[in-house]
Copies of this chain bind each other. A is one copy, B any other.
């Protein structure tokens, strides 16, 4: 395993999603901010679960979703993350391996249960996420396999890793190993509230050269640079050394370097069902494009295609083979 070269190695919180439909007044009653990701403790997890409707359980986790998308696009993918050896941990492990992803992080045999995210999808397709981190809190630097990171062309890290206390050490260790091996490191800012929690540290990672590629949506970018104006945020991003990739929902995406800004449109969709995983799958398409050596515009179109697939059904992992879909759309 460690000797095999990977295109993309993701490190993130290993989470199982519990998805339920909900009306807007349910969100109001439960005091949930639509579209956000909130961290909840075990007691709140139980009370919110009791209050919500019937759930569909599907493997999730932001970086894990991305890595599954990368694999579905035909690239060699690996994942590092921590589950517990319980029913949901077993399901997570099965599902990611069934998509061809190398996943060998040992499951915890004690401590909190496998992480779950209670996702409420409103009739407008927007998702509101409530995450119980559980076993993710047991991910440590010891779980980072140095040989695996050294052999991965891109190591992809999620900002959410800053939430469980020990995981940020795993993050930094992986970034350092990757760079020592001449590899690239990518970071997704994850969520605007996550940026608010860790703004200085994220800026430190970017300015300290720990990350080479930054994925953000417009809310996260504005939060990072503490501005309400998108153009101001993009101008600030342009001053950073990293390659910036910014998604704008139906308005498509832009790729920002010092020298230029490349805009790419979104793919048309028939019906918006559930936005969960849109950003994750955009990153999957973009990363798969990078490892295939295509230009940034095509990378962004691959991202848009993968995002369009995932928002037309419930769950944050692709239901169709994305490589076939990319071929059908002339992108590969």
Contacts and interface: CB of A to CB of B under 8 A. Distances in A.
A284 to B, nearest CB: 15
A49 B94 contact: yes
Contacts of A53: 98-99
Interface string A50-89: 1011111111000000001000000000000000001110
Nearest to A313: B314
B315 A95 contact: no
A94 B315 CA distance: 20
Chain A contact patch, size range: 20 to 34
A interface, over-half SS: mixed
Nearest to A52: B98
Interface string A87-129: 1100100111011000000000000010000000000000000
A21 interface: yes
A41 interface: no
A317 interface: yes
A283 to B, nearest CB: 19
A319 interface: yes
Contact of A50 (B58, B94, B315): B94
Interface of A: 18, 21, 49-50, 52-59, 68, 86-88, 91, 94-96, 98-99, 113, 315, 317, 319
24 contacts: A18-B91, A21-B319, A49-B94, A53-B98, A53-B99, A54-B58, A54-B59, A54-B68, A54-B94, A54-B95, A54-B96, A54-B98, A54-B99, A54-B317, A55-B91, A55-B95, A56-B56, A56-B57, A56-B58, A56-B315, A57-B91, A86-B87, A87-B87, A87-B113
